[in-house]
Amino acid sequence: MSRPLIGITTSDQKSHLAWWFDWFAVWRHGGKPLRLSPSRPQPESLDGLIIGGGDDIQAHLYGGEVQLDVRLDPARDELELALLERFIPLNTPVLGICRGAQLINVHLGGTLDPDIYTTHEGLKRRRTVLPRKTVDIVGASKLHRLLGVTWCRVNSLHHQAVYGAGRGIEIVARDRDGLVQGIESREHEFLIGVQWHPEWLLFNRPQQRLIRALVTASKRHAKRRSKNGYLKADI
């Protein structure tokens, strides 16, 4: 079958290099990546969706305190929340990356830790695209099954994190400091969020399995839609 169409959300200002990693991560595993940003026309339908990394989420969306020294992108918040509202009920496979994991949780009524370095005294500052942080994964979780490991080394580019889990969300991975690193839905076939960036870990087999699993799930979703006679205009 043809490549499943997988939307990847970004800001309008995302660098070409960062987008190339997003694009390649999906393309190499058989998907057709489509960039979604506030200024771009939106597709009538998608076979899969990645809510990507980026700026902080507005505090009022999760009942947090306003932070004065952070970058926000209200138009992107609005776009991504609308996409989740539209595609989650269709059981479209969704992967949240970094900010994307947080936004999935917020969409489902969860809360965030607005600044892990403020709320966790003495926390070592890590900001690197290299796999320098150790994450433990709950056994028998979907994330464990897809990655095929009980722990892994990941990169770290965040200062916010999931705090209180949203409706139907389970926390399935934490780092060695106890911070949430992975979430998944009990109520959906593929609704998973990770706090790290698997797209930057090109030669890391467990992380590439996660991207491949999204593409595979998107192919199944496309086949079901075709079999059931759903047309693009129906979505």
Partner residues linked to 156 by β-bridges? 128
Kindly name the residue from 107, 144, 158, 197 that is annotated as catalytic. Answer: 197
Residue 226 phi/psi, 5-degree rounding, is -65, -40
In one letter, which amino acid is 188?
H
Kindly name the residue from 80, 98, 152, 221 that is annotated as catalytic. Answer: 98
- With 0-12 / 13-18 / 19 or more C-beta atoms within 10 angstroms meaning exposed / middle / buried, residue 3 is middle
In one letter, which amino acid is 186?
R
Judge whether 152 counts as a catalytic residue. no
Judge whether 197 counts as a catalytic residue. yes
The answer to whether 172 touches 182, Cβ cutoff 8 Å, is yes
Kindly name the residue from 107, 144, 184, 199 that is annotated as catalytic. Answer: 199
In one letter, which amino acid is 216?
T
Tell me whether strands 48-51 and 128-137 are parallel, antiparallel or unpaired. Answer: unpaired
Q: Which long-range contacts (CB under 8 A, 24 or more apart) does 144-153 make?
A: 144/172, 146/192, 146/209, 146/210, 146/213, 147/206, 147/207, 147/209, 147/210, 148/206, 148/209, 149/206, 152/204, 152/206, 152/207, 153/204
Judge whether 158 counts as a catalytic residue. no
Tell me which residues are annotated as active site: 98, 197, 199
